[in-house]
């Protein structure tokens, strides 16, 4: 499912226009991104939790030459599915 299909599904499920569904989805994504940028986590009970994790610096290999390269430390977004979401998939 891509973004436009998700917007159509939200609009049909909530019985709202596609434009309103699009604005709601964009607002939700922006709000989650802003919260993660600040270092906060976002928990949606039954769905899951969005967090930021620290990835340590490490040594990798250039696949073309085989030479070792240094990969710097980074902050990466992470999602952990909630119980209700896991149960609905299985």
Do 32 and 43 contact (CB within 8 A), yes or no? no
* Burial bucket for residue 52 (CB in 10 Å: 0-12, 13-18, 19+): middle
Confidence of residue 12 (pLDDT cuts 50, 70, 90): very high
Residue-averaged pLDDT of the chain: 95
Closest listed residue to residue 86, CA positions, set 53, 46, 42: 46
Question: Residue 29's pLDDT is what?
Answer: 96
CA distance 17 to 58: 48
Question: Residue 8's pLDDT is what?
Answer: 96
Question: Residue 33's pLDDT is what?
Answer: 96
What does the longest C-alpha to C-alpha distance in the chain come to?
Answer: 56
Confidence of residue 56 (pLDDT cuts 50, 70, 90): very high
CA distance 51 to 40: 7
Q: Domain segments of the chain: what residues?
A: 1-40, 41-90
Determine the topology of domain 41-90 in CATH: HU Protein; Chain A (4.10.520)
Question: Residue 64's pLDDT is what?
Answer: 93
Q: What is the mean pLDDT of residues 48-52?
A: 97
């Amino acid at each position: 499912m891509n973004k436009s299909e998700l917007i159509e599904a939200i609009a049909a499920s909530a019985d709202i226009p596609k434009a309103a569904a699009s604005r709601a989805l964009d607002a939700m994504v922006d709000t989650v991104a802003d919260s993660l940028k600040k270092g906060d986590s976002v928990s949606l009970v039954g769905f899951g939790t969005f967090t930021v994790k620290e990835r340590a610096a490490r040594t990798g290999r250039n696949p073309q030459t085989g030479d070792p390269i240094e990969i710097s430390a980074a902050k990466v977004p992470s999602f952990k599915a909630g119980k209700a979401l896991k149960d609905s998939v299985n």
